[in-house]
Amino acid sequence: MKTLNAAIIGCGAIHTCHVEALRQTPGVVLRAIVDIDPDKGRALSGEYDCAFYQDYREMLCDVAIDVVHICTPHYLHKPMVLAALAAGKQVFCEKPVGMNMADIVEMRAAEKQADGRLGVCYQNRLNPTSLALRQLLSENALGRLLSINAFLTWSRTPPYYANSPWRGRYASEGGSLLINQAIHTLDLVQWFGGGVTRLKGVVDCARLEDTIDTEDTAMATLEFSGGARGLFFASNNHTRDTPLQLDIHCEQGELQLRDNTLWRVSDDKRVMIASDETPYGHSKRYWGNGHINAIRQFYDAVRSDRHSGVTGLNDAAKSLHMVEAIYRSSQLRQWVTLPE
């Protein structure tokens, strides 16, 4: 098996999940890291025994690098994805792949011209509970889907935004709660429900109004392509990060996701279907444990030249489209229709 050489751009909070996943992926070596902070970069390159670059464009000139992981602030995703694809690299980008749908259009054109592929980190799709839920719904195991309700309450405090000043600003984060924390939930909901056709939503900034110029709370009423309905609520104003709660109502029963466990619920009985409780190194429990699975899947796809389940640009665009639609709906106070 040919060894694949990886580089990580951006050594902040999430990069440790990528380092750990690379360590646990056979046939992969972390060859370089990139960060604009030279002290941090040099210290980490010693720890990881790899090269350090302060400028990602210099790293892209290293022909030995096969795969580039992008773990930087949102406003840098598009230029870095475009440059890495143009340099002939395989690219694995943290969510959101871009800040808006205009970014997606540019990336789509670039990907068409490129030899490499673009994968986006929606690791929660690979949680055992997500896979089981999707399978049950796609088989109509509980009859026709009637509704999906999603409830996500996390805690983001002023120091979280002060530590990384790109957060909490439209120009650099592209939003906050929706595009950063809740985008995984929007992605799962649309993936389980077979696509959202239209929505009506509201965004607000309450507790963080003196800290950020974006939103800390959002809700939306959703309609799915198969006729099912959905309710979505998310906020960064809780006092702790609680695991995503989902209620899935079908004609012949109900499924519930609670504490990272999927249950089938009927009358007074709860039967466990799947659990995500696996002790994986650096992944915080509420982020999900899927980075290792998502990154291994991406490297498998690079080796086999198949996309096989990797979340690509078109899939990643769906949740980004929902984010944009909720902002627009909130502004217009109207339903917004999404493209098929």
Ligand X SMILES: NC(=O)c1ccc[n+]([C@@H]2O[C@H](COP(=O)([O-])OP(=O)(O)OC[C@H]3O[C@@H](n4cnc5c(N)ncnc54)[C@H](O)[C@@H]3O)[C@@H](O)[C@H]2O)c1
Quote the strand ranges of the chain, DSSP E.
Answer: 4-9, 28-34, 51-53, 67-70, 90-94, 118-121, 145-153, 196-204, 217-224, 229-235, 245-250, 253-258, 261-266, 269-275, 336-337
Provide the token pair at 48: 């990881």
Determine contact, residues 302/4, Cβ cutoff 8 Å: yes
Q: Using CB under 6 A, which of the segments 71-79, 105-113, 223-231, 295-303 binds ligand X?
A: 71-79
On the 0-12 / 13-18 / 19+ scale of CB atoms within 10 A, 170 is: middle
Per DSSP bridges, beta strands 245-250 and 145-153 are antiparallel
CB nearer ligand X, residue 13 or residue 265 = 13
- Residue 319 within binding range of ligand X, rule CB under 6 A: no
Task: Name the residue nearer to ligand X (CB basis): 22 or 273.
Answer: 22
Contact pattern from residue 105 through residue 144 relative to ligand X, giving x for each residue in contact according to CB under 6 A and a dash for the rest = ----------------x-x---------------------
Nearest-CA neighbor of 90 among 108, 113, 114? 114
CB atoms within 10 A of CB 327: 22
CB of 143 to ligand X, least distance (A): 33
Strand ordering across the sheet containing 269-275 = 269-275, 261-266, 253-258, 245-250, 145-153, 229-235, 217-224, 196-204, 336-337
Residue with Cβ nearer ligand X (73 or 116): 73
Least spacing, CB of residue 288 vs ligand X, in Å: 7
Give 9 or 28: the residue with its C-beta nearer to ligand X: 9
- Single out the segment in contact with ligand X by CB under 6 A; choices: 31-39, 132-140, 250-258, 299-307: 31-39
Token pair belonging to 280: 């994986």
**Interface with ligand X includes 164 (CB under 6 A)?**
yes
Assigned token pair, 30: 């972390």
Closest CB 332 distance from ligand X, rounded Å: 27
Beta-bridge partners for 94:
121
Size of the site for ligand X (CB under 6 A): 23
Of 67, 73, 150, 326, the one binding ligand X (CB under 6 A) is: 73
User: Which range of residues in 3-11, 22-30, 144-152, 253-261 is near ligand X by CB under 6 A?
Assistant: 3-11
Does 25 sit near ligand X (CB under 6 A)? no
Task: Write the interaction track for ligand X spanning residues 167-206; mark x where CB under 6 A is met and - where it is not.
Answer: -------------x--------------------------
Of 59 and 336, nearer to ligand X (C-beta) is 59
71 binding ligand X? (CB under 6 A) = yes
Q: Which stretch binds ligand X (CB under 6 A): 4-12, 125-133, 138-146, 253-261?
A: 4-12
Tokens of 247: 């209620």
Residue 329 interacts with ligand X (CB under 6 A): yes or no: no
Structure tokens at 74: 């949102």
Angle ∠(91,70,65) on CA atoms, nearest 5: 55
The verdict on 10 binding ligand X (CB under 6 A) reads yes
Taking alpha carbons only, the member of 268, 258, 255 closest to residue 228 is 255
Q: Which of 132, 270, 287, 300 binds ligand X (CB under 6 A)?
A: 287
Q: Which residue is nearest to ligand X (CB)?
A: 12
Nearest to 265 by CA among 151, 136, 152, 154: 136
Which positions touch ligand X (CB under 6 A)?
Answer: 9-14, 34-37, 56, 71-74, 76, 94-95, 121, 123, 164, 180, 287
